[in-house]
C-alpha cells in the first residue's frame, strides 16, 4: 500500500507543478486554453488513478482481460485482471506525463 501512496503523491506533485506552469504560460504568453484544459484533464486522470490503485488487492488471474462497459457501448480493460491492471496504470500514467510535457513545451516555445 505504501507504493501506491507514493505513486499517487508523485502525480499530485506533478499536478501542482502543472498548475504553476500553466499560470506562468498565462502570464508570459496570454494563452488561456492550457490554463483550463491541461490541469482539468490531469485532475480527471488523477481521480481515475486513485480509483485504479484501490484495485491492487482485488486481482485474480482468472478474470477476463476485457469486460463489457457498465456505461455505454463496447468493452474496456478489466483492472481486476493483473495484466489489465498494469496496462490501465501504464495508460493513465502515460497520459498524465504527456499532459505535463505538453504544458512544459508550451512554456518553452516562444
Cα 68 to Cα 36: distance, rounded to the nearest angstrom: 32
- The model's pLDDT over 9-55, given as tens digits with 9 standing for 90+, comes to 888 888 888 888 888 878 887 776 666 788 888 998 998 888 888 77
- The model's pLDDT over 54-110, given as tens digits with 9 standing for 90+, comes to 776 678 889 999 999 888 899 998 888 899 989 998 999 999 999 888 888 877 876
Q: Which residue has the cell 503523491?
A: 9
As beta bridge partners, residue 67 has 76
Which DSSP string do the residues of 3-41 spell out, in sequence order?
HHHHHHHHHHHHHHHHHHHHHHHHHHH---HHHHHHHHH
Amino acid at each position: 500500500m505504501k507504493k501506491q501512496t507514493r505513486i499517487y503523491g508523485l502525480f499530485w506533485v506533478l499536478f501542482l507543478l502543472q498548475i504553476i506552469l500553466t499560470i506562468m504560460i498565462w502570464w508570459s504568453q496570454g494563452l488561456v486554453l492550457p490554463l483550463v484544459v491541461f490541469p482539468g484533464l490531469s485532475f480527471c486522470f488523477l481521480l481515475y488513478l486513485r480509483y485504479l490503485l484501490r484495485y491492487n488487492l482485488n486481482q485474480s488471474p482468472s478474470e477476463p482481460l476485457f469486460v463489457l462497459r457498465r456505461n455505454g457501448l463496447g468493452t474496456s480493460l478489466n483492472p481486476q485482471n493483473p495484466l489489465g491492471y498494469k496496462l490501465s496504470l501504464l495508460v493513465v500514467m502515460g497520459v498524465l506525463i504527456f499532459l505535463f510535457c505538453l504544458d512544459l513545451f508550451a512554456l518553452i516555445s516562444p
